[in-house]
Amino acid sequence: MPEFWVASGHHLTRLDDAGRMIVTDELIVAWLARPEVLPPPEACAAERTLHKRLMDQPRAKVSDMELIALQDPDARENWRFLLTLRDRLIAAGTVEEGYAQIVRDGVTLPVVFMSQLVQLILRNALDGCSDPQVLRAAECFFRPQRSHIQNDTLFLADEELVQLLEQEMHSSPLTAMLSGGIDGLDVLGDGNDWTYWSRSDAHTMVLNFGGDAAARAGMATAIAAYLRHMLGLDCNVTAQASADNTDLRWFVGLDQAGTAIGNALWNKQPLPATLVGLFRLDIADHARVTPDLRGEPIWLFLGLGADGAVRIKPQNLLTGLPLAAPVLN
């Protein structure tokens, strides 16, 4: 199978008997080498010394005194976050269990760290996947998307990429993207799927979420894979075309806007945001579901933020399902 998302660091992990990623020294070193963590040229000697020591001994304990010695308060905060992440993962033993405990305990970490964990987990959950539509849709779990409507069709492009291009062009580049005005940035589909493999880490392919059923089906497949991997949940997820006649006995918002939409529907109020994705989740193992909802579908809502962005919160799927067994596997 072609490789994808090399930047996730999946190749730096080893799997345990359950198929979960063991936290290796190599993975910790890769995080220490991230641009957000590397000491800048103006960093104090204490920070440079700390970074070098951890690069040599990734699991070395760091005292409060070492952190207090850092002159830059932002650096102290960043190092506390990183060490919290490292220590949590090491104590848990696997990336998946560490992430689950972080979500369960409500530990506050920077978005960049949480997104890195989600990408790594999805890379493992989707190992062997041969469908670029599934992989591109799964990027929405850890890469915020910027929306664009063209001919009444919703397209999603990587938000960070769009921002970079806007800085270069001093105007929105999405119209140019979708008309082929920028080399190397194409809408996934119509025979170009094979190019995804060489571009997966660049995040340069646009997702035709509104006009291509394969894109929405890909999102459904990614959701199901995430739930199977994290919760051991035997389930089926299908994309739906309409929210009409939906029995909202239980719903989960995939993002903040989706949660607001679900709450409005539940209370029979006007929608506060635009619904862009609706999915039906059916759990095959009824014993895993609370008795009052066994055999009932769970509805998943994806909305569009007021700023035109889609920012999925995958932790909502871990904490929002009506499971009778422990929520986190």
> Residue 278's closest CA among 312, 243, 327?
243
Q: Which residues pair with 148 in a beta bridge?
A: 155
Helical ranges in 204-309 per DSSP H: 213-231, 256-266
> Residue 316's closest CA among 227, 221, 233?
227
Q: Which residues pair with 38 in a beta bridge?
A: none
d(CA 128, CA 124): 9
Q: Which residues pair with 277 in a beta bridge?
A: 302
Kindly report, residue by residue over 65-121, the tens digit of the pLDDT: 999 999 999 999 999 999 999 999 999 999 999 999 999 999 999 999 999 999 999
**Maximum distance among all alpha carbons in the chain?**
64
pTM surpassing 0.75? yes
On whether the CB atoms of residues 251 and 287 are closer than 8 A, the answer is no
pLDDT of 23: 96
3-state DSSP assignment of residue 200: coil
DSSP assignment letter at 140: G
Residue 2 pLDDT level (bands cut at 50, 70, 90): confident
pLDDT of 325: 63
Report the DSSP pairing between strands 309-310 and 298-304.
Answer: unpaired
d(CA 259, CA 317): 12
> Residue 31's closest CA among 61, 54, 65, 62?
54
